[in-house]
């Protein structure tokens, strides 16, 4: 059984249709990318997967659970990367991890997590004083502190320099190596090509293509995923 199964998902905000019948599956152990043009419905879909929004139609199963009906059970098994602005600037890195660890029945060891994410030397620093890359690592650490089976990472490397981006990619590969399935929402095609086993390309509320980055490139005879993305989303307009 797939870890995530979305079938014919539909969601509107008033008269604006945000998601028009989206279907895809994510297998256990994959890094699965959600790519798409602005306003394509990626965030809405991911929010429905987390049970934060109720779908208007279609079905969603995450870890065999219904995200709305089983939200409490799902929250314990899914780690979601927080946007940085949601953490108080004065909170220290270790305090943040210990606080989040206290929400879970079987949390990760905070010291092990600090080491794994290269945050040990920053453990006593307050969040507001960290660099963009360090903040990003804290947000990933918080997504992992509950030892989730699924980690949802959204716009992971936005605003990071090329070194910090590469370090973050290695981190994501390390997460997958521990058996965690990763759902990665990104606008960066190089990131998707490097990290994702498979991707779904969203455009105007629909999935216009699903496959491996290499398979999608070949399907439209493109030399990069970026070119394939432009071609696939343009032809869908
Ligand atoms: N709370 C809301 N109320 C009304 N319309 C919304 C709301 N949230 C999103 N939308 C609209 O739904 C559509 C899909 O938005 P969504 O945020 O899911 O797209 P996205 O793919 O995540 O976009 P981006 O890449 O720009 O973040 C857009 O047209 C957006 O304007």
pLDDT > 90 in the chain, percent: 77
pLDDT > 70? residue 85: no
Atom of ligand 1 nearest to the CA of 45: 18
Atom of ligand 1 nearest to the CA of 37: 25
List CB contacts of 68: < 8 A, sequence separation 6 or more: 51, 54
Q: Is the CB of 40 under 6 A from ligand 1?
A: yes
CA-derived radius of gyration, the chain: 18
Confidence of residue 195 (pLDDT cuts 50, 70, 90): very high
Burial tier of 71 (Cβ tally within 10 Å: 0-12, 13-18, 19+) = middle
pLDDT in tens, 37-55: 899 999 999 999 999 999 9
pLDDT in tens, 118-161: 899 999 999 999 988 888 889 989 999 999 999 999 888 887 88
**45 vs 98: CA distance, rounded Å:** 30
ipTM: 0.97
φ, ψ at 236 (rounded to 5°): -85, -10
pLDDT > 70 in the chain, percent: 97
Closest CA to 93 of 146, 137, 37: 137
Return the residue matching tokens 């890195």: 93
pLDDT > 70? residue 4: yes
Max CA pair span of the chain: 51
The alpha carbon of 20 and the centre of ligand 1 are apart by a number of angstroms equal to: 13
List the residue whose alpha carbon is closest to atom 30 of ligand 1.
39
Domains of the chain from N-terminus onward = 4-235 (3.40.50.300)
């Amino acid at each position: 059984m797939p870890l995530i199964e979305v079938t014919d998902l539909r969601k509107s905000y008033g008269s604006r249709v945000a998601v028009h019948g989206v279907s895809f599956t994510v297998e256990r152990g994959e890094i699965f990318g959600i790519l798409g043009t602005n306003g394509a419905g990626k965030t809405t879909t991911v929010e429905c997967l987390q049970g934060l929004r109720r779908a208007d139609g279609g079905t969603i199963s995450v870890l065999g659970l219904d995200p709305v009906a089983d939200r409490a059970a799902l929250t314990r098994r899914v780690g979601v990367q927080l946007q940085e602005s949601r953490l108080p600037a004065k909170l220290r890195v270790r305090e943040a991890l210990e606080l989040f660890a206290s929400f879970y029945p079987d949390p990760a060891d905070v010291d092990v997590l600090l080491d794994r994410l290269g945050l040990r030397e920053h453990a006593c620093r307050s969040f507001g004083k960290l660099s963009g890359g360090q903040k990003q690592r804290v947000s990933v650490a918080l997504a992992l502190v509950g030892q989730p089976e699924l980690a949802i990472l959204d716009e992971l490397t936005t605003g990071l320099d090329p070194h910090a981006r590469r370090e973050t990619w290695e981190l994501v590969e390390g997460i997958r190596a521990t058996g965690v399935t990763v759902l990665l929402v990104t606008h960066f095609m190089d990131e998707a090509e490097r990290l994702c086993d498979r991707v779904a390309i969203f455009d105007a509320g629909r999935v216009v293509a699903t496959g491996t980055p290499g398979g999608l490139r070949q399907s439209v005879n493109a030399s990069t995923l970026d070119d394939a993305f432009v071609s696939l989303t343009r032809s869908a307009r």
